[in-house]
């Protein structure tokens, strides 16, 4: 385990290597105390991830039927101990967060370079160790994976997943359809042909065995996260941000582990394709790249990857605007250059969309079903909250029930505000006042904030690109605060339970978390005193 740090020695080690990533040009070795703190952070994160994985077998979002992997005797025993396994998950979350925070000072450069930074290779190894215990646990914090499996089965059978819901197309007795959350059981697939096409391939490979399907989907999510990490490092260098800081905030973030990996959300694939596409698009307009064929190759790769991300979730198409702005600036920065760049990317995107939609056999029905998620009442959505508050106030004043009208109006205003910020950031990027990566992050942030439906992991759409651009400590503190608080907001099973049950779970989790952290800190202090 301690081999994670093969190139980091103590101050007195003959073979110690000097760290050379300091932003102010000073370099020094890790001290023994710093190595001990690093090891504490790494081990704490591993223990936390193991607890989440083990607890998830009993407390996760298990399928209604066809529980092929988690039907072993020990799994059944754990699933009956819902309180205990849920507490194990929340304690694991606490330890994962503590491990993440202990790495802060060795990933984010201090102004006085008081601490050396972790080598990138060590940071990647830490990320791998933290993700391994989550690969074979049950889906957690959501039941969306069962919608993915059902939609994949529908497409694999040659049916149209955009025409009706899983229960309508697969039947009420189908194992996959029965595990789809009730609110989505009659809803067409809201995802594009890349997401549904991948799910169809997985359906054919697994024969609709639920456990195998979950594991392959999760492996695809992990692959998406690693592609996002690859792109994030390179985008950070473009923006003058320390790559370790970007990787720590955007990839090692607990929300990534909990929702993109454990929760198996397809945002992992979307963000991997999107960030890789942005990097390719920006490479195409690098000043030092002389080859015209190379520029066309990178530019085409950017269009293909971002369009593919948009055919997972349509919000990813937004990135095309900011890569297009970069092209317009490369062409000369005139208004006619902006028009040319827009036409180039519009035509390129249209070609990719047509090829994928027809080539997958899914057609263009996915374009017509967008917006179905707005039927859900999301408490994290500012516009939804304002709409409900307005409607309830009207009812209290005796003006009648105008919930639908109030929600529609508030959400429309929110979308207009989000759209305004998108246009503003596009223009600022075109004028050179904001880097396209930063413009994308800010625009996405406001779009998410004013979106009709918001989930805790949606903010990652903005956090990842912003981690490669925003270099202020206030931004990182805000992201850390949000990530820590929202890590506890959804129960591992992804379902609502009685308030008394939830209160007991949270109280027990807080108590055990504090006990574990205190014991760990005392052991650390004892080891520190004797080293």
Helix H or strand E segment including 509: helix 499-530
Structural domain that includes position 387: 377-452
Residue 312 within any structural domain of the chain: no
Residue 213 within any structural domain of the chain: no
Residue 298 within any structural domain of the chain: no
- The Cα–Cα gap between 316 and 225 comes to 15
- The Cα–Cα gap between 525 and 509 comes to 24
235, burial (CB in 10 Å: exposed 0-12, middle 13-18, buried 19+): buried
| SS3 state of residue 63 | coil
Residue 280 within any structural domain of the chain: no
Residues in the chain: 531
**22 and 107 assigned to the same domain:** yes
**448 and 501 assigned to the same domain:** no
Residue 156 within any structural domain of the chain: no
Alpha carbon 194 to its chain centroid, in Å, reads 17
**427 and 499 assigned to the same domain:** no
Nearest in space to 382 (alpha carbons), one of 462, 445, 319, 288: 445
**113 and 54 assigned to the same domain:** yes
Residue 93 within any structural domain of the chain: yes
- The Cα–Cα gap between 30 and 250 comes to 25
According to the 3-state scheme, what is the secondary structure of 221-232? HHHHHHHHHHHH
Residue 166 within any structural domain of the chain: no
**431 and 503 assigned to the same domain:** no
**132 and 19 assigned to the same domain:** yes
- The Cα–Cα gap between 387 and 382 comes to 9
pTM given for the model: 0.87
384, burial (CB in 10 Å: exposed 0-12, middle 13-18, buried 19+): buried
If one counts the domains in the chain, the total is 2
- The Cα–Cα gap between 297 and 285 comes to 11
**443 and 501 assigned to the same domain:** no
pLDDT at 497: 67
Residue 437 within any structural domain of the chain: yes
> Would you give per-residue pLDDT tens digits along the chain (531 residues)?
434 443 444 333 322 222 333 343 344 677 777 788 888 889 999 999 999 998 888 888 888 776 665 555 555 545 555 567 888 899 999 999 999 999 988 888 877 666 778 889 999 999 999 999 999 888 998 888 999 999 999 999 999 999 888 998 988 888 888 888 888 888 898 899 999 999 999 999 999 888 889 999 999 999 999 999 999 999 999 999 999 999 999 999 999 999 999 999 999 999 999 999 999 999 998 877 667 777 889 999 999 999 999 999 999 999 999 999 999 999 888 889 999 999 999 999 999 999 999 998 998 988 887 765 556 666 677 777 787 777 777 777 766 666 777 777 887 888 888 889 999 999 999 998 999 999 999 999 999 888 887 888 899 999 999 999 998 889 999 999 999 999 888 888 776 666 766 777 778 777 877 887 888 777 767 776 666
Task: Decide which of 420, 452, 484 is a domain's last residue.
Answer: 452
- The Cα–Cα gap between 456 and 469 comes to 21
Q: Quick one: tokens of 308?
A: 């593919």
**27 and 93 assigned to the same domain:** yes
Task: Decide which of 422, 452, 482 is a domain's last residue.
Answer: 452
CB neighbours of residue 419 within 10 Å: 14
**501 and 417 assigned to the same domain:** no
Task: Decide which of 433, 452, 471 is a domain's last residue.
Answer: 452
**14 and 136 assigned to the same domain:** yes
**9 and 122 assigned to the same domain:** yes
**131 and 6 assigned to the same domain:** yes
């Amino acid at each position: 385990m301690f081999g994670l740090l093969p190139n980091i020695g103590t101050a007195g080690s003959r073979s110690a290597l000097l760290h050379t990533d300091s932003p102010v040009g000073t370099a020094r070795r890790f001290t023994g105390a710093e190595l001990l703190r690093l090891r504490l952070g790494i081990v704490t994160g591993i223990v936390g991830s193991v607890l989440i994985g083990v607890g998830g077998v009993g407390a996760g979002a298990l399928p209604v039927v066809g529980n092929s992997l988690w039907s072993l005797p020990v799994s059944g025993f754990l699933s009956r101990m819902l309180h205990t396994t849920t507490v194990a998950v929340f304690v694991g979350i606490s330890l994962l967060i503590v491990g993440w925070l202990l790495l802060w000072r060795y990933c984010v450069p201090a102004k006085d370079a008081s601490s050396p930074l972790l080598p990138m290779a060590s940071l990647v190894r830490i990320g791998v160790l933290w993700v391994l215990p989550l690969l074979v646990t049950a889906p957690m914090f959501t039941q969306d994976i069962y919608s993915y499996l059902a939609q994949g089965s529908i497409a694999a059978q040659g049916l149209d997943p955009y025409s009706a819901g899983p229960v309508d197309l697969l039947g009420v007795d189908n194992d996959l359809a029965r595990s789809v959350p009730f609110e989505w059981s009659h809803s067409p697939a809201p995802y594009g042909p890349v997401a549904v096409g991948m799910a169809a391939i997985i359906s054919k490979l697994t024969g609709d065995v639920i456990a195998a399907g979950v594991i392959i989907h999760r492996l695809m999510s992990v692959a998406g996260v690693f592609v996002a990490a690859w792109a994030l490092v390179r985008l950070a260098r473009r923006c003058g941000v320390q790559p370790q800081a970007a990787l720590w905030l955007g990839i090692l973030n607990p929300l990534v582990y909990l929702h993109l990996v454990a929760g198996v959300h397809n945002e992992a694939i979307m963000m991997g394709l999107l960030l890789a596409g942005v990097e390719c698009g920006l490479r195409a307009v690098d000043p030092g790249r002389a080859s015209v064929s190379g520029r066309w190759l990178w530019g085409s790769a950017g269009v293909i990857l971002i369009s593919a991300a948009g055919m997972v979730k349509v919000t990813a198409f937004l990135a095309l605007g900011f890569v297009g702005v970069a092209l317009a600036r490369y062409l000369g920065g005139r208004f006619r250059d902006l028009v040319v760049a827009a036409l180039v990317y519009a035509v390129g995107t249209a070609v990719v969309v047509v090829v994928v939609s027809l080539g997958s056999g899914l057609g263009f029905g996915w374009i017509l079903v967008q917006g179905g998620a707005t039927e859900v009442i999301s408490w994290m959505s500012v516009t939804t909250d304002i709409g409900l508050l307005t409607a309830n106030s009207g009812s209290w004043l005796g003006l009648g029930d105008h919930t639908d009208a109030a929600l529609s109006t508030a959400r429309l205003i929110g979308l207009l505000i989000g759209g305004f910020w998108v246009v503003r950031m596009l223009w600022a990027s075109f004028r050179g006042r904001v880097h396209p990566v930063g413009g994308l992050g800010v625009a996405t942030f406001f779009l998410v904030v004013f979106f009709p439906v918001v989930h805790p992991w949606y903010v990652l759409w903005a956090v990842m690109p912003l981690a490669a651009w925003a270099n202020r400590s206030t931004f990182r503190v805000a992201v850390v605060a949000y990530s820590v608080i929202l890590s506890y907001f959804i129960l591992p099973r992804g379902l609502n339970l009685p308030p008394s049950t939830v209160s007991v779970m949270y109280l027990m989790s807080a108590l055990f978390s504090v006990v574990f952290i205190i014991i760990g800190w005392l052991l650390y202090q004892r080891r520190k005193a004797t080293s």
